[in-house]
Amino acid sequence: MSDESRSRRIRLKPADPFDLIRLLARSQNDPRKAVAELVQNSLDAGATEVALVRFRKSGAVCLSIRDNGAGVLPDRVRPDALHHLATHIGHSYKRQLTPEERYRLLQQGRYGIGLLGFWSVGKQMAIRSRVNGSEVFVLDLVEDDPDATVHPDRAQKVLDPTWTEVVIRHVHPAAQRLLTGRKLADYLAFELRGQLLERDARVRVVDRLARGRAMQDFPVRPPRFQGVPLREIHEWPVPDLAGARLRVDLYFLPEEHGVGRVTLASAGTVVADDLAALEAVDLRADPWNSGRLTGLVDAPFLDVAPGTRRGLVPNEKADAFGRAMETLAVRVREWLAAYRNATEEEADRSLQKRLRRVFRDIQKRLPHYDLFQVKDGGARGAGDALQGEPTANEEDGGAPAEAPAAGEAATAGADALPPEFEEHPLLFPPGPLAALRLVPATCRLPVGAEKTLSARASDADGRVVHEGISFAWSIAEAPGELASAAGERAVYRATAVGAALVRVEARQGATLLIADAAIDVLEEIEAPEREDMGIPDPVEVKDPTGSWRSRLREGRWEYNGSHPDYLNVARDEARRFRFLATLLAKELVLRQVAGGAVEDRLLESLVEVLVLLDERLARGGRLRERRTPGAAGRPADGEPAEDLRP
């Protein structure tokens, strides 16, 4: 068998080692990241003080990075340490650290190529080093030059026993625009956020090229994320990698704070600005791409692209990371759902308190208004009949009143009459008189006040009867007098302290019904003892097909959470409050006028106009038409709405 046919093992090596170094150096295209790598080296060396100075020397823009860390290979003499650094590119002692050690020590570098990044910053780099009072030695490197020099620097006047300084000269013009004092400080604050939060180190940028009175000294402070922290989620296991864990620092970002994104870090250093934009792992799903999360996930075990230190190497560690993020997403979605529910409940409680506070003076300022009777968070009007509770005098032939409460009219639900019964009385005329009630049935008045009482006559189906009925009003018990009494309405005037009983008789042919209203006349009516007295809590009901906005039903005040008007204000707490306050005012007024279908529709129309006016004010005077289900003649999506500003 010939030698040519035998298999052989060979060791890979570059044809030209410096060509490989050149490719590695050129792979870093962000000068800010290159500077961050140098600051990272200072932090890895245990520095507590790091100063970056931007200055000009002999007409050239320079950048200096000085620290008080342990130094370059501190166990070696300075010439040997710097010689080793220049001749072992691609080797780093940090490579031997386990992910747990790297996480604990917050050390990111492990490829030994960080110093080559200076090519993206400037033309020359000098590394000066002194350890334990030794002589200062310098390693000089030049962009695109395969040779370097190590020599003593006897002109150096820094007296500290241990320090390291990196000076990059002839900073490229394109890099100068990115490395101004403020820009560099802001970039380092975010890029090294995890490092700076965990370490007791002070980093600052001094820009001596700043002109005039411009700020020159910029402390590098890690930014604090906005939003609500997910405190229950600090770490997350990576089941496919024994002992590996994710460090989680996430925040829920409300919409008013803009769009958020979650950053990926490895051992405290940012490797991806947005999780959802990663290519090696597909995380383009809720909640990572929702815009409602911000914060950071740290995965110290990941293999990061050596040159740019951005993105992940697509290997089994990246796959394990992706699977761990999928399970973390489930937990985060559960937290967000629970938080939103709790927030909505708290907002509802706050809104209820505000409504009560606004309406609490009604009874004192408008004593002739009959408020609601509140019980267990609901609302039942004093004149609204409960099941089996008669409001007419049954001994005189009256029947229990089963008509809808004020404000319900034709929108009370399955038991309500079809709208056409009220809208077309000629086609569906109300039947004979069957029930009678007074609205309000009870109330309190101060001496000298007046109260309008309304008689509501209805047939057996609950429809209001207006024709063929005569009404007779009287005061069954003193004190007081009837200031006026005509048809279905009468005005009672309180003349003295005491209990009064106003009576109305309704006659239709041979049918006679009697209803009474009890009135307590007081010297003065004080404000309610409890904040919630007489003011019901709003209860949301989803009725997408209903045209009603609010109603009183079965002892509760309900509002339609699916009505277009409500949906238009739901995200704005101030406008939502005004909308519900308007609806409650509507129900209160309806209560005073017996709440017939005609009055209900009139007040609903008033609410509609007020909502449109509020919308105009909220938009700074610009009124846009809103699309509602079944609306015709509205502008299509993308078409400009009419501008009604003067």
> Which tops the pLDDT comparison, 434 or 269?
434
Regarding whether 518 and 377 lie in a shared domain, the answer is: yes
Domain CATH number, residue 280: 3.30.230
Regarding whether 405 and 320 lie in a shared domain, the answer is: no
- Is the Cβ–Cβ distance between 142 and 115 less than 8 Å? no
Regarding whether 236 and 213 lie in a shared domain, the answer is: no
pLDDT attached to residue 445 = 84
Residue 524 DSSP class:
-
Residue 574 domain-assigned?
yes
Percent of the chain at pLDDT > 70 equals: 77
- Is the Cβ–Cβ distance between 390 and 401 less than 8 Å? yes
Regarding whether 241 and 270 lie in a shared domain, the answer is: yes
Domain CATH number, residue 465: 2.60.40.10
Tell me what the pLDDT averaged over the chain comes to.
Answer: 79
> Which tops the pLDDT comparison, 208 or 12?
208
Residue holding tokens 């700076």?
196
Regarding whether 137 and 35 lie in a shared domain, the answer is: yes
- Upper half-sphere CA count for residue 298 (Cβ side, 13 Å): 26
Domain CATH number, residue 107: 3.30.565.10
Regarding whether 81 and 215 lie in a shared domain, the answer is: yes
Residue 585 domain-assigned?
yes
Regarding whether 502 and 555 lie in a shared domain, the answer is: no
CB count within 10 Å of CB 133 equals 9
Regarding whether 378 and 440 lie in a shared domain, the answer is: yes
Residue 393 domain-assigned?
yes
Residue 363's nearest CA partner among 594, 538, 532, 600 is 532
b/e per residue 216-248 (b: at least 16 CB within 10 A)? eebebbbeebebeebeebeebebeebeebbbbb
Residue 155 domain-assigned?
yes
Name the token pair of 135.
Answer: 């002589």
Query: Among 159, 194, 219, where does a domain finish?
Result: 219
Residue 353 domain-assigned?
no
pLDDT band at 528 (very low <50, low <70, confident <90, very high): low
Residue 454 domain-assigned?
yes
pLDDT attached to residue 238 = 93
pLDDT attached to residue 386 = 31
> Which tops the pLDDT comparison, 412 or 59?
59
Residue 39 domain-assigned?
yes
pLDDT band at 415 (very low <50, low <70, confident <90, very high): very low
Query: Among 522, 547, 572, where does a domain finish?
Result: 522
Query: Among 295, 313, 338, where does a domain finish?
Result: 338
pLDDT tens by residue, 171-191: 999 999 999 999 999 999 988
> Which tops the pLDDT comparison, 532 or 28?
28
Regarding whether 475 and 588 lie in a shared domain, the answer is: no
Regarding whether 189 and 291 lie in a shared domain, the answer is: no
Highest mean pLDDT among 301-315, 562-576, 595-609: 562-576
pLDDT attached to residue 447 = 87
* CB-based contacts of 277, cutoff 8 Å, min separation 6: none
Regarding whether 542 and 515 lie in a shared domain, the answer is: no
The rounded distance, in Å, linking the Cα atoms of 476 and 167 is 103
pLDDT attached to residue 316 = 92
* CB-based contacts of 232, cutoff 8 Å, min separation 6: 335
The rounded distance, in Å, linking the Cα atoms of 118 and 121 is 5
Regarding whether 483 and 434 lie in a shared domain, the answer is: yes
pLDDT tens by residue, 475-490: 988 788 998 898 888 9
Residue 238 is part of which domain span? Answer: 228-338
Residue 9 domain-assigned?
no
pLDDT attached to residue 108 = 47
How many structural domains is the chain composed of? 4
